[in-house]
Amino acid sequence: MKVVITGGAGFLGQRLCKEILHRGELVGRSGDSEIVDEIVLFDIVNPTAPIDKKVTLTKGDLSEQAQAFDVIGDTTDTVFHLGALVSGGAEAQFEIGYKSNLDGTRSILEACRRLSHNPRVVFTSSIAAYGGKLPAIVSDETPAWPESSYGVHKVIGELLINDYTRKGFIDGRSARLPVIVVRPGLPNTAASSWCSGIIREPLAGVESKCPVSQDTQLPCLSPRRVIDALIKLHDAESEAFEAYRTVLLPGLTVTAAEMAESAERHKGDRPFGVIKWAQDPLIQSLVDGWPKGVCATKAQALGIAADTSIDEIVSGFVEDYLDDQIKLVATN
């Protein structure tokens, strides 16, 4: 069984690869669990991966259709399409955002359409799909009304997944992700980057600047939980999805202040960095347009659950990533 992961250099792509290698199998074309014997990690930068003979690393640009056709060859069974230019970057770089997020998704789907079978495609969307006057808690039935270019890209991607599935070209399913916390590594251009930074940086002993108010609320999901969710979505029977094949993932609603407090509770005897609250009107306005909570009925029916507390999320980061994060900070 061959699996392609776009965004394979990103931390979710890397973690998904490791988890698939650990499990050894996914549901295949037969409808039963099959051994995964090849994983292709594709990204616009050089991916890294655990040393394993099953893993192939490929650098390129999926918005170039010929490259997508090369990566998704005749034997591809599954595509996890995680690659994208993140929210703040897509907002600041309009043309590049559309090229990466829209043209790249079209290239992936066209490559899949050329296959003699319909592969499973798992597309990662975002709660940036929502906007306008929102209820206190959004659900699978809440209409999408994106107010950013990134949100528009994701909603278009969801619709493409629906249509290519309706036509029988793929067996697609989309995961509408809440904010993923805590992301290891260095800050990026995502409008939600502060959610990880307010925990990650202080625990690594460096200063964190938070661009939103302390009472800002967002639904969050840990890396552990999101990887489990993506695999559950992949392995679910096609009949488990309705015509609109997007599943809103669950998230734990927490405030920026609660994130900061949990980080301090987990500092142990390590040096703890200062958190500076410096509101950025642009970031605040983008985040204020996102949901404050989610009711993920579809996901729950598939056995997908949220984290139980912010302390569960932070302790998971400490166990999985903090040692490497401290080393990364020391070299940058």
What's the alpha-carbon Rg for the chain, to the nearest Å? 19
Query: What is the C-alpha separation between 164 and 318, in angstroms, rounded?
Result: 40
Q: How far apart are CA 124 and CA 10, in angstroms?
A: 13
Distance (Å, whole) CA 125 – CA 107: 17
**CATH top-level class of 193-218+252-292+308-330:** alpha beta
SS3 content of the chain, % helix, strand, coil (to 5): 40, 20, 40
Tally the C-alpha atoms within 13 A of residue 303's C-alpha that lie toward its C-beta: 10
Q: What would the DSSP string read from start to end of 199-237?
A: HHHHHTTS-EEE-S-TT-EEEEE-HHHHHHHHHHHHHS-
For domain 2-178+220-248, which CATH number applies: 3.40.50.300, 3.50.40.10, 3.40.50.720, 1.10.10.10?
A: 3.40.50.720
Quick check: helix, strand or coil at residue 282? helix
| Helices assigned H by DSSP within the chain | 11-23, 65-71, 87-92, 94-98, 104-113, 149-166, 193-203, 223-235, 256-265, 281-288, 297-301, 310-320, 322-330
Cα–Cα distance, 272 to 132 (Å, whole number): 38
Residues identified as active-site: 150
φ, ψ (nearest 5 deg) of residue 210: -100, 120
- Kindly list the domain boundaries of the chain, sorted by start residue: 2-178+220-248, 193-218+252-292+308-330
Query: pLDDT digit of tens for each residue in the chain (332 aa)?
Result: 999 999 999 999 999 999 999 999 999 999 999 999 999 999 998 888 667 999 999 999 988 999 999 999 999 999 999 998 877 777 788 898 899 999 999 999 999 999 999 999 999 999 989 988 889 899 999 999 998 899 999 999 999 999 999 999 999 999 999 999 999 998 887 788 999 999 999 999 999 999 999 999 999 999 999 999 999 999 999 999 988 999 999 999 999 999 999 999 999 999 999 999 999 998 898 888 888 999 999 999 999 999 999 999 999 999 999 999 999 999 98
- What's the pTM value of the predicted model, to 2 decimals? 0.94
